[in-house]
């Protein structure tokens, strides 16, 4: 026995010594690389033919270095620290408007001034083209650069010169910047069959309190079931996600466990309060852009068999970021841990440690994922995001719709529409008339609108492959016939995708009159996944069978 113990001690000492040596070697190499960087910067400063700009050079160097890691590890210099603050709090100081780059006008346009915010109070409207800010012309500038110019300290002012469609010349207006707080829940309300609908768009500071208020208010209005819409929600603060899960799950349950390289990154997050609802049926809507904290909420409610998940597989971000202040007032947001939801699974889909050609990363194949189990014994898997319990068939978007949005055709039509109409019907009943759709088609033709068919691109690739393999002459007539038939026919496409185009146009117009809230109300009547959610909530037997399947 003594010999065995001594042998084990020798092995442990040998392993420990090896680890220490490996760690020392790593530190030596790291120190050496830092010395090389310092030497290069000094030589550039001393000998380069022109003066160097160290702040710009170092920032670019840091960003290039971080591209070798995951896309969530980012450096924010002092002048960009406000962006990081906005990500976590949803607050910033500016004029309060969404802006877009107008591809035809080559300048930035106001897309959606927020209700009650400085831009709207100054009389600005969606569609107004920004000409200059404080006398500096902004034509050709990126929206990021323009956004930086519009933001500033609360109480400071700027002079904005703009051009309004339908009016000659330009106008100037003085705007005082204010603190802008974007709501995490832009809309909640009662729907059919006593169902409360809540759209949560971000996990910023305080969003759990907003969710709590929404649920309590909806229950007062008679809600006996809930639909939580997390589609397009890219996540945010982890602790807010845990608090939202706690609204529906009893105290003392483990929601998230984080594991990182250092001890401080290893945390266990449990529900710490009494929930406000543990019985009402819940449906959570998700899609491919549902990520991070959103996946914690959806995945935890699935693992606890507390909600039915409907939609498309989520993004698959199982990484946790922390921020560290660096010398000079900047911040480094870096990935410090992976998180694991109640069943023990991590939903991370992309393996950033294995970068393939052109910086692309590999996705964890389904065949290599591991089975875990919910509280009721249902099978769930790690890797690749959250798989919904019900996945309705998604409608494929046409190439035409992409170009209509990208080229601002729908945006410009909505701008012209608002010039002619002072009011419209309420969001839940507004529709585009046949006459108005004809006017939209005429606008496209007057602009010589064109687009590339995906099928034409595929045919081009096929021709190249056939030429390589020697089949060009054999299939010459068939290829020519296909090329003729696949010529982009605008009238055909506008007729074939009329339903989808009408919805896009109406949605843009509703935004002009009723803002983001109105747009959500309009979309609820067109939402196929929402209709599936209603169906499941009506069918108590099917709802329960999904969450608690019959024992095998």
Listed range (20-29, 47-56, 141-150, 242-251) with the worst mean pLDDT: 20-29
Alpha carbon of 462 to those of 431, 457, 481, 485: distances in Å? 42, 9, 14, 16
d(CA 343, CA 345) in angstroms, rounded, equals 6
d(CA 397, CA 218) in angstroms, rounded, equals 34
Question: Which residue in this structure is represented by tokens 């780059």?
Answer: 101
More confident residue, 213 or 192: 213
- Tokens for 454? 């995906």
User: What are the residues facing 497 on neighbouring strands?
Assistant: none
Per-residue pLDDT for 355 more than 70? no
Using pLDDT thresholds of 50, 70 and 90, give the confidence band for residue 162.
Answer: very high
- The strand pair at 225-229 and 282-286 is best described as parallel
Mean pLDDT, range 371-377, rounded to an integer: 94
d(CA 2, CA 314) in angstroms, rounded, equals 55
Question: 120, 103 in Cβ contact below 8 A?
Answer: no
What length is written for the chain?
Answer: 552
Q: Which helix (H) or strand (E) holds 490?
A: helix 490-496
d(CA 30, CA 398) in angstroms, rounded, equals 50
Q: What would you report as the CA-atom Rg of the chain, rounded to the nearest whole angstrom?
A: 28
Question: 302, 389 in Cβ contact below 8 A?
Answer: yes
Which residues have a Cβ under 8 Å from the Cβ of 190 and sit 6 or more positions away?
196, 197, 218, 221, 222, 223
Question: What is the model's pLDDT at position 83?
Answer: 80
Residue 212 CB: number of other CB atoms within 10 A?
Answer: 16
Ranges of each domain in the chain: 91-181, 187-391, 399-452+488-533
Number of Cα atoms under 13 Å in the Cβ half of residue 402: 8
Percent pLDDT > 70 in the chain is 91
SS3 282: strand
- Model pLDDT for residues 243-271, shown as the tens digit of each residue: 999 999 999 999 999 999 899 999 999 99
Instruction: Tell me the angle at which helices 434-446 and 498-524 cross, rounded to the nearest 10 degrees.
Output: 120
Which residues have a Cβ under 8 Å from the Cβ of 327 and sit 6 or more positions away?
none
Question: What is the model's pLDDT at position 427?
Answer: 95
CA of residue 351 relative to chain centroid, distance: 20
Question: Domain 91-181 has what CATH class?
Answer: mainly beta
Question: What is the model's pLDDT at position 352?
Answer: 82
User: pTM here?
Assistant: 0.85
Number of Cα atoms under 13 Å in the Cβ half of residue 483: 10
The catalytic residue positions are: 292, 303, 317
The matching CATH number, chosen from 3.40.50.2000, 3.90.226.10, 3.40.50.300, 3.30.70.1290, for 187-391 is 3.90.226.10
- Model pLDDT for residues 20-46, shown as the tens digit of each residue: 566 677 777 788 888 888 898 888 888
d(CA 288, CA 385) in angstroms, rounded, equals 9
Contacts of the segment 512-517: beta carbons below 8 A, 24+ positions apart: 512/125, 512/126, 512/127, 512/414, 512/415, 512/417, 512/418, 513/418, 513/423, 513/424, 514/427, 515/112, 515/114, 515/115, 516/112, 516/114, 516/186, 516/187, 517/186, 517/187
Per-residue pLDDT for 385 more than 80? yes
d(CA 524, CA 153) in angstroms, rounded, equals 37
- Tokens for 533? 């959610």
Listed range (53-67, 271-285, 422-436) with the worst mean pLDDT: 53-67
DSSP string, 135-147: TEE-TT--HHHHH
Question: 350, 357 in Cβ contact below 8 A?
Answer: no
Question: 318, 57 in Cβ contact below 8 A?
Answer: no
Which residues have a Cβ under 8 Å from the Cβ of 381 and sit 6 or more positions away?
345, 366, 369, 370, 371, 372, 387
d(CA 530, CA 532) in angstroms, rounded, equals 5
Question: What is the model's pLDDT at position 456?
Answer: 67
322: nearest Cα among 311, 299, 338, 300:
338
DSSP string, 210-259: HHHHHHHHHHHTT--EEEEE-TT---B-HHHHHHHHHTTS-TT-EEEEEE
Instruction: Tell me the angle at which helices 238-246 and 207-220 cross, rounded to the nearest 10 degrees.
Output: 20
Per-residue pLDDT for 113 more than 90? yes
- Model pLDDT for residues 114-128, shown as the tens digit of each residue: 989 999 999 999 999
SS3 295: helix
d(CA 477, CA 474) in angstroms, rounded, equals 8
Question: What is the model's pLDDT at position 163?
Answer: 95
Residue 54 CB: number of other CB atoms within 10 A?
Answer: 11
**E strands within 22-176?**
74-76, 91-94, 97-102, 107-113, 129-133, 136-137, 157-163, 171-176
Question: Any idea what DSSP says for residue 342?
Answer: T
d(CA 279, CA 281) in angstroms, rounded, equals 6
Which residues have a Cβ under 8 Å from the Cβ of 534 and sit 6 or more positions away?
191, 192, 193, 195
How does the average pLDDT of the chain come out, rounded? 88
d(CA 530, CA 430) in angstroms, rounded, equals 19
Question: What is the model's pLDDT at position 6?
Answer: 56
Mean pLDDT, range 71-75, rounded to an integer: 91
Listed range (44-53, 189-198, 362-371, 424-433) with the worst mean pLDDT: 362-371
Using pLDDT thresholds of 50, 70 and 90, give the confidence band for residue 328.
Answer: confident
For the chain, percent helix, then strand, then coil, each to nearest 5? 45, 20, 35
DSSP string, 460-481: HHHHHHHHHHT-TTTTHHHHHH
Using pLDDT thresholds of 50, 70 and 90, give the confidence band for residue 338.
Answer: very high
Alpha carbon of 35 to those of 21, 55, 208, 443: distances in Å? 21, 19, 47, 62
């Amino acid at each position: 026995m003594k010999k065995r113990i001594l042998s084990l001690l020798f092995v442990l000492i040998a392993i420990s010594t090896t680890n220490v040596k490996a760690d020392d070697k790593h530190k030596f190499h790291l120190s050496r690389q830092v010395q090389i960087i310092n030497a290069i910067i000094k030589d550039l400063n001393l000998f380069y033919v022109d003066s160097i700009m160290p702040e710009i050079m170092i920032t670019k160097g840091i960003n290039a270095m971080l591209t070798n890691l995951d896309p969530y590890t980012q450096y924010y210099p002092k002048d960009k620290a406000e962006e990081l603050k906005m990500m976590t709090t949803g607050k910033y100081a500016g004029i309060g408007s969404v802006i877009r780059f107008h591809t035809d006008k080559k300048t930035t346009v106001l897309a959606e001034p927020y209700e009650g915010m400085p831009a709207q109070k100054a009389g600005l409207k969606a569609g107004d083209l920004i000409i200059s800010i404080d006398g500096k012309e902004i034509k050709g500038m990126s929206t990021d650069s323009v956004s930086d110019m519009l933001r500033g300290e609360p109480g400071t002012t700027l002079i904005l010169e703009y051009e309004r469609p339908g009016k000659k010349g330009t106008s100037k207006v003085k705007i005082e910047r204010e603190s802008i707080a974007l709501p995490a829940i832009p809309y909640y309300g009662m729907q059919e069959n006593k169902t409360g609908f809540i759209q949560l768009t971000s996990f910023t500071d305080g969003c759990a309190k907003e969710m709590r208020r929404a649920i309590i208010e909806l229950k007062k209005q008679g809600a006996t079931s809930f639909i939580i819409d997390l589609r397009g929600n890219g996540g945010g603060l982890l602790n807010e996600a845990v608090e939202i899960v706690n609204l529906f799950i009893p105290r003392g349950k483990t929601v998230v466990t984080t594991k990182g390289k250092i001890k401080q990154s290893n945390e266990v997050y449990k529900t710490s309060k009494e929930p406000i609802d543990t019985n009402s049926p819940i449906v959570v809507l998700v899609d491919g852009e549902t990520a991070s904290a959103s996946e914690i909420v959806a995945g935890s409610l699935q693992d606890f068999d507390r909600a039915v998940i409907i939609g498309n597989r989520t993004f698959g971000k199982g990484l946790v970021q922390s921020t560290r202040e660096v010398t000079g007032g900047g911040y480094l947001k870096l990935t410090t841990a992976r998180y694991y939801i109640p069943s023990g699974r991590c939903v991370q889909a992309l393996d950033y440690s294995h970068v393939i050609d052109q910086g692309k990363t590999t996705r964890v194949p389904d065949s290599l994922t591991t089975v875990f189990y919910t509280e009721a014994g249902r099978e769930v898997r790690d890797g690749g995001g959250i798989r919904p319990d019900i996945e309705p068939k998604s409608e494929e978007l046409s190439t035409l719709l992409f170009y209509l949005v990208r080229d601002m055709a729908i945006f410009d039509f909505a701008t012209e529409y608002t010039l002619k109409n002072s009011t419209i019907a309420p969001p839940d009943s507004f529709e585009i008339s046949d006459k108005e759709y004809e006017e939209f088609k005429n606008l496209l033709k007057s602009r010589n609108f064109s687009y590339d068919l995906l099928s034409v691109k595929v045919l081009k690739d096929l021709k190249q492959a056939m030429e390589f393999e020697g089949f060009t002459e054999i299939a010459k007539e068939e290829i020519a016939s296909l090329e003729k038939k696949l010529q982009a026919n605008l009238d055909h496409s506008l007729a074939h995708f009329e339903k989808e185009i009408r919805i896009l146009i109406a949605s843009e117009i509703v935004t002009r009159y009723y803002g983001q809230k109105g747009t959500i109300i309009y979309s609820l009547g067109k939402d196929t996944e929402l209709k599936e959610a209603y169906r499941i909530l009506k069918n108590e037997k099917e709802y329960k069978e999904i969450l608690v399947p019959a024992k095998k």
